[in-house]
Chain A
Amino acid sequence: MKRELMKFLVFAAAVLTAPLFLKGGYIVNVLVFVGIYTILAVALNLLLGLAGQISLGQAAFFGLGAYISGVLTATYAANPWVAMVIAVIAVGAIAFALGFPILKLKGHYLAMATLGMGIIVYIIFNETVDITGGPSGLSGIPNLSIGGIVFNTDMKNYYLVWSFVIVTILLSVNLSQSRIGRALRAIHDSEVAARILGVNVRLLKVQIFTVSGIFSALAGSLYAHTVQFISPASFGFNVSIELLTMVIIGGLGSIYGSFLGAAILTLLPELFRTFQDYDIVVYGTVLIVMTMFMPGGLVRGVPLLARSLLVRVKAGLSSEKSV
């Protein structure tokens, strides 16, 4: 427990002090997006890594959160914070209601069902032009503000978004370490066994699906208020795949790994802009290679790799000595 607390404090401290070293450059803007995608990746990881439920439709909850927040504030001039609360609650309710029928499915069938759900929601965003603005998008979404402070610069948005990220990670790590987390892991291993041990499998699956949806909607609302423009293209099937890649890279079940995955997948394109055309190929290769050779993701794979190299080095040295 203490180790987890230490990890969290180090993480929180690093996040809060980083901008001081970065002096408000362009990278702060990128880090705002890293924060938003971290929340999304953590949400998916709770569902996929912890509970073992495949979801290829996370972008739907992301988008619903963004659009509910966006429409309420841009078209109906609601207070952004009120809109955010409404968005989160509404999406939570939708996830809860959808969860019961959908989570009866498993494996490939669940994957396809969530995929279908994601695509249907995307089409709805595109077609309900009068509400969402359709493919042309919705602009004029106001920034969030507290008291007199309006969150309209990268630095301010950084602290806004990352405060939420820290809270999300705190809650997720807590959940993961708690009795509920263990029950979810039991479900991941074998639903039947978990049921025999008294776990209310059905309810728990729906609950974690709902939590995942709530976090995703929160990310969506934050996205709407920081970018101030949303369009269906940002919530399509490919975003769900990107999130999946982030979780895989970081490591299934590792909360901090999701942060790593989100950071890598958002920062790398910035660093390698010359190789823009090749990014699809890189994505696909990374997915395949990581899944085959480092199923625990980087968070577990790198230390393992380091350890195995160390062992080999030591063995090499000791064999020399014996000669």
Chain B
Amino acid sequence: MGGLQRNDKFIRRYNMLKKIIIKSICIFSLLLVFTVNSWSQEPIKIGGLFAVTGPPSFLGEPERNTANMMVDQINKTGGIKGRKLKLVFYDTQGDATKAVQAATRLIKEDRVSAIIGPSTTGETMAVIPVVENAGIPLISCAAGIKITEPVKKWVFKTAQNDSLAVERIYDHLRKRNLHSVAILTVSDGFGASGREQLKLRARDSGITIVADEIYGPNDTDMTAQLVKIRGSKAQAIICWGTNPGPAKVARNAKQLGLSLPLYMSHGVSSKKFIELAGDAAEGITLPSGRVIVANVLAKSDPQKKSLLAFVNDYKNHYRVEGDHFGGHAWDAVMLLKSAIERGDGSPASIRNELENTRNFKGIGGIFNFTPQDHAGLTKDAFVLVTVKNREWMLVK
């Protein structure tokens, strides 16, 4: 009796062991298959830092949307050299501290090969030491000229320098023989940078700034500043800010009956500005990337094809037209794609290939990077547009 029982137990245990061994072999081989598969298809990871919420969300949201859209498109057409592209993005809320934290996370935890963004100059300046230390290329979507001047090894940008916008406006003023201007800038990073450039370039362009006024991002009424400007000898007003401030300035100016020519910055190159300012927008002139007048550009314009493609693609995905700001992300993603294709996809190689990019027809303009110039654009990246009948028109 005892012997049979012992035998039974032994047989049962032996069968159980067999089952376990077989199951383990199956699972292990399946795992092996999966891992081998993913090795050969290991995606290229790029990081994204966008201010999707917070005051600069009008920048970060289109940028993130565009980046997602482009990465999807690239993957649908086979990826880059057979490898999928993966975008890991974090919302910085426009906060420099959060941008730094997110950048560190992208580099240390997500192990990205390159980073796109951030959306604002302030955040970019904060992130620069992080990427320089880690040796990861950064393509910022912010406009401050300080980002690439002086040039930093790992830092590039796709948004046009605000200095170029200022030059365009001053050129136009000189053409119209206007020499005294009043500037009205917003007290945030974008406005402060613009104000700096306006003051810096005035003398060389033969422009005198006779009034230098500031308004806050949440101000509801700029009449006081405009009255002061009216009392000065200004022949034109340049307002530098992002929606909704400039729209209020335009309306206040109309209410006061100010007839001086009013210029704005590329910060308001969007349909939203016309919507907010209403009739007060008529006749306002500003420098902008070509994207907002894509459909009225000459057929011979080298950027027209990519511009129209972008505008319509974005519309199909997100129901509104692609704008100036989303374009910065388009340029960044496509520049990265080209750099990865030409090199081996490592951070160092991406950086080198970016530096060697010539004649890249992007949304913001035609890019030519060199070891001394990591911004890549000239003032031709901007066109002058004006509002006529609530639409953007090219100024000849």
Query: In the complex, are there CB atoms of A and B closer than 8 Å?
Result: yes
Binding site for B on A (CB under 8 A): 25-26, 29-30, 33, 126-127, 129, 134-137, 139, 152, 154, 227-231, 233-234, 270, 273, 276-277
Which residue on B lies nearest to A266, using beta carbons?
B101
B108 and A29 contacting across the interface, CB-CB below 8 Å: yes
CB<8 Å pairs between A and B, sample of 30: A25-B108, A26-B104, A26-B109, A29-B108, A33-B97, A126-B187, A129-B192, A135-B188, A135-B189, A135-B191, A135-B192, A136-B144, A136-B192, A137-B96, A139-B126, A152-B133, A154-B104, A227-B100, A227-B126, A228-B129, A229-B96, A229-B126, A229-B129, A231-B189, A234-B95, A270-B105, A276-B52, A276-B91, A277-B52, A277-B91
4 nearest A-B residue pairs (beta carbon): A229-B126, A26-B109, A26-B108, A135-B192
Q: Secondary structure of the B side of the interface?
A: helix
| B65, chain A: closest CB distance, angstroms | 14
B101 and A229 contacting across the interface, CB-CB below 8 Å: no
B109 and A233 contacting across the interface, CB-CB below 8 Å: no
B271 interface hit (Cβ, 8 Å): no
* Complex interface: chain B residues within 8 A of A137 (CB): 96, 122, 125-126, 189
| B237, chain A: closest CB distance, angstroms | 21
Residue among A126, A137, A152, A228 having the largest count of chain B Cβ atoms under 10 Å: A137
Given contacts A135-B122, A135-B187, A136-B189, contact A231 B96 (CB under 8 A): yes
- Residues 209 to 263 of chain B near chain A (Cβ within 8 Å): 214
* Complex interface: chain B residues within 8 A of A25 (CB): 108-109
**Complex CA–CA separation, A229 to B91 (angstroms):** 19
* Complex interface: chain B residues within 8 A of A229 (CB): 96, 100, 125-126, 129
| B145, chain A: closest CB distance, angstroms | 11
* Complex interface: chain A residues within 8 A of B53 (CB): 276-277
Contact with A along B172-198 (1 / 0, CB 8 A): 000000000000000111011100100
Residue among B52, B94, B187 having the largest count of chain A Cβ atoms under 10 Å: B187
A233 and B96 contacting across the interface, CB-CB below 8 Å: yes
| B393, chain A: closest CB distance, angstroms | 32
B146 interface hit (Cβ, 8 Å): yes
A139 and B192 contacting across the interface, CB-CB below 8 Å: no
B52 and A233 contacting across the interface, CB-CB below 8 Å: no
Given contacts A134-B192, A136-B144, A276-B91, contact A233 B122 (CB under 8 A): yes
Q: Tally chain B residues at the interface, Cβ within 8 Å.
A: 32
* Complex interface: chain A residues within 8 A of B91 (CB): 273, 276-277
B101 and A29 contacting across the interface, CB-CB below 8 Å: yes
* Complex interface: chain A residues within 8 A of B314 (CB): none
B125 and A136 contacting across the interface, CB-CB below 8 Å: yes
- Residues 112 to 135 of chain B near chain A (Cβ within 8 Å): 121-122, 125-126, 128-129, 133
A29 and B105 contacting across the interface, CB-CB below 8 Å: yes
B170 interface hit (Cβ, 8 Å): no
* Complex interface: chain B residues within 8 A of A233 (CB): 94-96, 122
* Complex interface: chain B residues within 8 A of A270 (CB): 101, 105
B325 interface hit (Cβ, 8 Å): no
Which residue on A lies nearest to B186, using beta carbons?
A135
B122 and A127 contacting across the interface, CB-CB below 8 Å: no
B90 interface hit (Cβ, 8 Å): yes
A26 and B105 contacting across the interface, CB-CB below 8 Å: yes
B146 and A234 contacting across the interface, CB-CB below 8 Å: no
B192 and A234 contacting across the interface, CB-CB below 8 Å: no
Known contacts A135-B188, A152-B133; 9 further A-B pairs (Cβ under 8 A): A25-B109, A135-B122, A136-B144, A136-B189, A137-B189, A228-B126, A231-B122, A234-B97, A277-B52
* Complex interface: chain A residues within 8 A of B188 (CB): 135
A273 and B192 contacting across the interface, CB-CB below 8 Å: no
| A73, chain B: closest CB distance, angstroms | 14
Among B101, B126, B129, B193, the residue within 8 A (CB) of A231 is B126
| B100, chain A: closest CB distance, angstroms | 6
* Complex interface: chain A residues within 8 A of B133 (CB): 152
